[in-house]
Structure 1
Amino acid sequence: MDADAEEQALLWKKSLTRSVSRADDELCSFRTCLRWMCVDQSDPWRTTLCWSVFLVLAFGVPILSHLILWCPACDPKHQRPYDLLVEVSLTSISTLSFLSLSSFVRKYGLRRFLFLDKLCDESEKVRQQYSHQLNSSFRLLSCFVLPCFVVEIGYKAWWYVYGTAKFPFIWNAYVSDTISCILELSSWVYRTSIFFLVCVLFQLICHLQILRLQDFTKVFQAESDVETILREHLRVRKQLRVISHRYRAFIISSLIVVTISQFASLLATTRSTAHINLFKAGDVALCSVVLLTGLLICLRSAVKITHKAQAIVSHAAKWHICMTCDSFETLDCETPTRVSANQRVSPMSSSSATEPDSDDEAADEDDFDEDLIVPALASAASFQKRQALVTYFEHNRAGISVFGLMLDRSSLHTVFGIELSLVLWILGKTVGIS
């Protein structure tokens, strides 16, 4: 079985050396989806196309649509007073996501970025589950994008059909409105998809580490070697540090961008001169849902994997106490056996048994003490190793960190408290809540 496992690991490692996508490549469908999203930068031609589409849909279309369709003298029911806020928010978060994704793929490559090069050291079950999650990652992406896109289509269709404003058009007003609406929708879905893609990939990578942690906890059930357990934990902890180092800039930057966007929206919609209804502020509400959903995906994934990694301490403590109890039970069972054996193999006359200074009795007592010292010392050494391992787990908690701050439930509560304090402060300045 060990030879078969090593052979499968070698075959898997050999398959990871492929650099060109082929029909039997596990990244073939993944690269195809990236190509359709125009974010594939595997060669110079696709890189040029990728950056061109990004500049057009992330900057060109939003700027032109805001300058051309901004009409303060139009029908008040069909004005878009918060269009600039929405466009700046979506463009900022999509730019951050696009630059982060481009940096990841260019610096590490797609396989290293997705940690496929580390799967050769994992079990077959972990490989299969991660490959399944990798292939279904774009279905998860569509679950976040499609509902918001349907709402955006309804809002844009309403605005273009029932808007009473007359905007500049080319050749035909209906054709111009249709082209303008399609371009705006394409820009919106592109920027939203880029942001959700980076968030979903972070969730996918965190899910791989959760699978590894679940597989690692089985070591306490079948393995009693402290050195092996420590080596496995160091390997997992190293991967978590790598993920934290790669994504810490994106997480903190996303948190700053989303916070500024939400506070600007709150300040604009709660001021005394603002007239709010569903049609005017609908795009702001949808933009807020998109930004907050993506940020929560990242924070939830980070907190979940940190919670799983820190739960190893309880597994190690439980394993330590069980091994200790088993050691004591073994000694209790062996001690009477040794005593009765020594008593049987040391025949003594009744006269020698009554003499406390007999040489034979002294020799028997020395032999009996030596038999007990060896297993006692071995048990003490094992206990100290296990205790050192538990102490190491307690003082070296693994997880996702951002510049030294561990992303766990306590830090998430702290962030929520700070955000709530700022919200109440803004509401106190606008609507008078104190």
Structure 2
Amino acid sequence: MADEGETLLNRKNKYSRSVSHAQDELQSFRSWLRWMCVDQSNPWTTCLSWLVFVVMAIVVPCLSHFVLACSDCDTKHSRPYDSVVQLSLSTIATLSFLCLSRFVSKYGLRRFLFFDKLWDESGTVRNCYTQQLNRSLQILFIFVLPCFAAEIAYKIWWYASGASGIPFLGNALVSDTVACILELCSWLYRTVVFFLVCVLFRLICYLQILRLQDFAQVFQVESDVESVLREHLRIRRHLQIISHRYRVFILWALIFITASQFASLLLTTKADAEVNIYKAGELALCSMSLLAGILIILRSATRITHKAQSVTSLAAKWHVCATIDSFDTVESETPMAPQVDRNLVFPLSTDGSSDCEDGGDEEDDLDNTTLIPAYTYSTISFQKRQALVTYFENNRTGITIYGFMLDRGSLHTIFGIELSLVLWLLGKTIASV
């Protein structure tokens, strides 16, 4: 007993501490943040982070557009959509950097990633969340590197194939090389900062999904209504915290990305616009990057909302199974007239579930079609179970933006608004030709 209490105390101290040390579980993640120049753990790294941000997100894009742009190039080397590309990337990078700086300075990296709350979670949740943290940067670069490779190819072609540069270093070749490297670093920095905030949101949502899957186990074992209610209130509180922290970023990211796509469509559908891979290739890469980032946000939000709302159906199924079990117990004690075998009318598989093999990876403990064995649930009264189900039905939770729930219905709404804007703009453009 003493060993178990000591183990629990050590686990609590490990995950609830605020001061980092060289061997903590966030060491590799912090090293990546330092390499990406977004670490703000001390005054020196904070100043460096802001300096790199100003240079890469503001100074270099302005120089690229106003100084390094080729005004007298041929048709292949002109960049008519460069203003939209630079403004879109710099705007979304500024929003991401400001939000990330606020998150780290106000909450700290450990508290922001909910590592201070892991001490009372199960071992499965802690291990899976730590593994997902280590995979987060891999996911980030899976999205960034393909677009960055295409951007490298485009910039090298643009500078190497005869686009005139400004020899600000005295030599045109050296000047073009330095300018190309600066533009590529600026593009990579702005894209990485945006995707970093998106991937961190996905990571935090993944923790809540793990907790909800762990929470579903309470309906498989003997438990009381009070403990179930307390755990659900705790999960709901954490979802409210995530929504409150990220609502500004999600809302303004949607606005900026919508405005960027709207401006891109407006420019590319003009009567005198020339759209080809040489002119609009960089614009397409920018649009793909922004849309991929916002899709990570929306998919993570809708997924956690769906899982959170699946608790209602799980609790209702638990209540039905317990009620049936209670009635079967009463009927077994009282002699009854012979009845028709229900299995002859509604045949079941041998394990009590129907077509469970067809569910595949889409089913889990929160969303499945298997019956819950109710051999111990009759100890909980019908009124308590009904009250718990009523609570779940009237307290749906998930990721919200100022009260607007981000679920599958909201995705349909956002898609409808975006499609309406596109069709309206296309109609105006075609009608004016």
Question: Structure 2 length as normaliser, TM-score?
Answer: 0.87
Cα shift at 1:166: 4.4
User: In 1, distance between residues paired with 2:132 and 2:269?
Assistant: 42
Distance change in 2, residues 1:3/1:393 (3 Å): farther
Query: What do the CA deviations read for 1:153-195 (whole angstroms, capped 9, x no partner)?
Result: 0000110011343433322111111110000000000000000
User: In 2, distance between residues paired with 1:270 and 1:414?
Assistant: 25
Structure 1 counterpart of 2:123: 124
Decide whether the 8 Å contact of 2:165 with 2:176 is kept in 1. no
Structure 1 counterpart of 2:277: 278
Structure 2 counterpart of 1:179: 178
Decide whether the 8 Å contact of 2:39 with 2:45 is kept in 1. yes
- For the pair 1:99 / 2:98, whether they are aligned, the reply is yes
Identity %: 65
Structure 2 counterpart of 1:257: 256
Query: What do the CA deviations read for 1:264-295 (whole angstroms, capped 9, x no partner)?
Result: 00000111011111110011000000000000
Query: What do the CA deviations read for 1:80-106 (whole angstroms, capped 9, x no partner)?
Result: 111111000000000000000000111
- For the pair 1:12 / 2:31, whether they are aligned, the reply is no
User: In 2, distance between residues paired with 1:36 and 1:155?
Assistant: 25
Structure 1 residues 12-411: aligned runs within 5 Å? 12-335=11-334, 382-411=381-410
Structure 1 counterpart of 2:351: none
Decide whether the 8 Å contact of 2:325 with 2:378 is kept in 1. no
Cα shift at 1:333: 3.1
User: In 2, distance between residues paired with 1:315 and 1:72?
Assistant: 64
Structure 1 counterpart of 2:430: 431
User: In 2, distance between residues paired with 1:279 and 1:15?
Assistant: 54
Query: What do the CA deviations read for 1:195-230 (whole angstroms, capped 9, x no partner)?
Result: 000000000000000000000111101034111111
Decide whether the 8 Å contact of 1:86 with 1:287 is kept in 2. yes
Cα shift at 1:77: 1.4
User: In 1, distance between residues paired with 2:234 and 2:39?
Assistant: 31
Decide whether the 8 Å contact of 2:18 with 2:110 is kept in 1. no
3-state DSSP class of the match of 2:381? helix
Decide whether the 8 Å contact of 1:75 with 1:165 is kept in 2. no
Distance change in 2, residues 1:284/1:6 (3 Å): farther
Distance change in 2, residues 1:252/1:9 (3 Å): farther
Decide whether the 8 Å contact of 1:324 with 1:383 is kept in 2. yes
Cα shift at 1:152: 0.4
Where structure 2 has 5 or more consecutive residues not aligned to the other structure, the ranges are: 336-376
Cα shift at 1:381: 7.7
Decide whether the 8 Å contact of 1:424 with 1:433 is kept in 2. no
User: In 2, distance between residues paired with 1:201 and 1:57?
Assistant: 22
User: In 1, distance between residues paired with 2:317 and 2:302?
Assistant: 23
User: In 2, distance between residues paired with 1:192 and 1:27?
Assistant: 23
User: In 1, distance between residues paired with 2:66 and 2:208?
Assistant: 46
Structure 1 window deviating more from structure 2 (173-182 vs 15-24): it is 15-24
User: In 2, distance between residues paired with 1:3 and 1:240?
Assistant: 35
Cα shift at 1:126: 0.4
Greater share of helix: 1
User: In 2, distance between residues paired with 1:379 and 1:180?
Assistant: 74
User: In 2, distance between residues paired with 1:424 and 1:226?
Assistant: 52
User: In 2, distance between residues paired with 1:125 and 1:135?
Assistant: 16
Structure 1 window deviating more from structure 2 (221-230 vs 198-207): it is 221-230
Query: What do the CA deviations read for 1:211-262 (whole angstroms, capped 9, x no partner)?
Result: 0000011110103411111111111111111111111110001000000000
Aligned AA for 1:42? S
3-state DSSP class of the match of 1:169? coil
**May I ask how many residue pairs the two structures share in their alignment?**
393
Structure 2 counterpart of 1:360: none
Aligned AA for 1:36? W
Decide whether the 8 Å contact of 2:70 with 2:77 is kept in 1. no
Cα shift at 1:10: 2.2
Distance change in 2, residues 1:379/1:159 (3 Å): closer
User: In 1, distance between residues paired with 2:279 and 2:132?
Assistant: 39
User: In 1, distance between residues paired with 2:290 and 2:141?
Assistant: 16
3-state DSSP class of the match of 1:333? helix
User: In 2, distance between residues paired with 1:3 and 1:384?
Assistant: 39
Decide whether the 8 Å contact of 2:68 with 2:166 is kept in 1. yes
Aligned AA for 1:265? S
Cα shift at 1:73: 2.6
3-state DSSP class of the match of 2:431? coil
Q: Which has the larger radius of gyration?
A: 1
Decide whether the 8 Å contact of 2:16 with 2:118 is kept in 1. no
Decide whether the 8 Å contact of 1:399 with 1:406 is kept in 2. yes
Cα shift at 1:332: 2.5
Query: What do the CA deviations read for 1:107-126 (whole angstroms, capped 9, x no partner)?
Result: 11111100011111110010
Cα shift at 1:8: 3.7
Where structure 1 has 5 or more consecutive residues not aligned to the other structure, the ranges are: 337-377
Aligned AA for 1:423? V
Cα shift at 1:432: 3.3
Decide whether the 8 Å contact of 1:220 with 1:316 is kept in 2. yes
Decide whether the 8 Å contact of 2:148 with 2:188 is kept in 1. yes
Aligned-residue CA RMSD in angstroms? 2.0
Distance change in 2, residues 1:9/1:81 (3 Å): farther
Cα shift at 1:19: 4.3
